Amino acid sequence: MNIFEKIYCRIFQFCFKVAIPFLPYRNPVILDNVESISQILKEKHAEKVLIVVDSNIEKLKLNYNLEKTLTDNNILFFKYDKIFSDPTINNVEEAKNLYIENKCQAIIGFGGGSAIDCAKAVGARIARPNLSIPKMAGILKILKEIPLLIAIPTTAGTGSETTVATLITDSETKRKYMIGDFPLIPKYAILDAENIKTLPQNITAFVGIDVLVHAIEAYIGNSTTKKTREQSLQAVSLVYKNLYDTYLDGNNLEKRRNMLQASYLAGCAFTISYVGYCHAIAHTIGGMYHVPHGLANAIIIPYVLEAYGEKIYKKLKELGVAAGLFDENINQEQGAKIFIESIKDLNSKMGIGTKIDAIKKEDINEIVKNALKEGNPVYPVPVLMGKKELSLIVEKLMK
């Protein structure tokens, strides 16, 4: 990256940082059990609702309690359950049509990031019927209230319940469209550990490490605030105290609850302080080869942190203290290295490897191009990177 590109990126990021206190960020109202949803819907006079649920979650019947509560309270629901991995434009259009045909009055996103992202995009399409998904891509294109949106995360990972963003894929071109605007922040988020106790072990691991990566990338970036730094530190501490135990015993509701809390805190932090190149590469690889988002992030993060080098030693040491790995008297470089090694250890204990086999040599240029397009100038990364640096990271990810 040349000096003029670097200056452009930093000025862009500086303007966003200065604007943070003036932007209409808000956090969703948090509730801790699914049963409370009927009360909210009644207060808002919503008698017909659309549920957007991941197909896998539907198979696991995790939405049983939600549907029972709605039925018991005479709230009619219509269910869209055709999301198989990343939500596509077709998913959004089909779910939107279901909402309109049945004159629904609220949207419930139930599941992982995919279902909640799809629910957000449905809301956006209803608020802006004349704007297609590709036309909404980017930031601040909606600028209008969307229908009542309630997010019920079931994976304790994506943080999508707190964020302004949604990521929708065009299934034909494989292109991903990021839409970011304040009306997309759900009004309510229900963090109910009962919903996630049957989550399979590997998914628990992937989404748990994703939480950690959200917290790390938000913390080491240049656009942090006192609050997002605190939220990141708390999230890291919760992940180190709870993730591996949850992986070993999914029925431990207290640990599951703590991971939901970590996911929420990390989500709040990165909504304001952004993520970094790890996510930019993971999104691209996820879109090209269908590698689960959390798995991609888990494998990529140590390489990205090592590539940032000494610029982030101090912050990584602070994260290591929050993780309980050592006390603050440790030397910065040593602390940073122990923290990176601890992520590798956690990955390995949970069966996560160190390479992404799917990456093809001939695709490196495309991966790097798309990752740079996502990362620069928006992500306030600690060290700006260009084609050369990102290519080196992607090469290391290959077998």
Which residues contribute to the site for Zn ion (CB under 5 A)?
210
Q: Look up residue 54 and give its amino acid.
A: D
Question: Residue holding tokens 């998913």?
Answer: 91
Q: How far is the CB of 302 from Zn ion (least distance, A)?
A: 16
Which of 37/299 has CB closer to Zn ion? 299
Choose between 263 and 342: whose C-beta lies nearer to Zn ion: 263
At closest approach, how far in Å is the CB of 387 from Zn ion? 23
By beta-carbon proximity to Zn ion, the closer residue of 266 and 372 is: 266
Cβ proximity to Zn ion: between 58 and 210 the closer is 210
Position closest to Zn ion via CB: 210
Q: How far is the CB of 28 from Zn ion (least distance, A)?
A: 18
Closer to Zn ion at the Cβ: 142 or 298? 298
Reading the block at residue 168, the tokens are: 């929708």
Smallest distance, Å, CB 278 to Zn ion?
A: 9
At closest approach, how far in Å is the CB of 83 from Zn ion? 17
Closer CB to Zn ion, residue 86 or residue 210? 210
Least distance in angstroms from the C-beta of 105 to Zn ion: 31
* Shortest Å distance, C-beta 214 to Zn ion: 6
Least Cα distance to 107 among 123, 93, 91, 94 occurs for: 123
Tell me the closest approach of the beta carbon of residue 242 to Zn ion, in angstroms. 18
**Residues paired with 153 in a beta bridge:** 111
* Cα 244–Cα 249–Cα 255 angle in degrees, nearest 5: 65
Nearer to Zn ion by C-beta: 242 or 263? 263
**Cα–Cα distances in Å, from 28 out to 137, 183, 202, 265, 312?**
23, 11, 28, 12, 31
- Residue 210 C-beta: closest distance to Zn ion, Å: 4
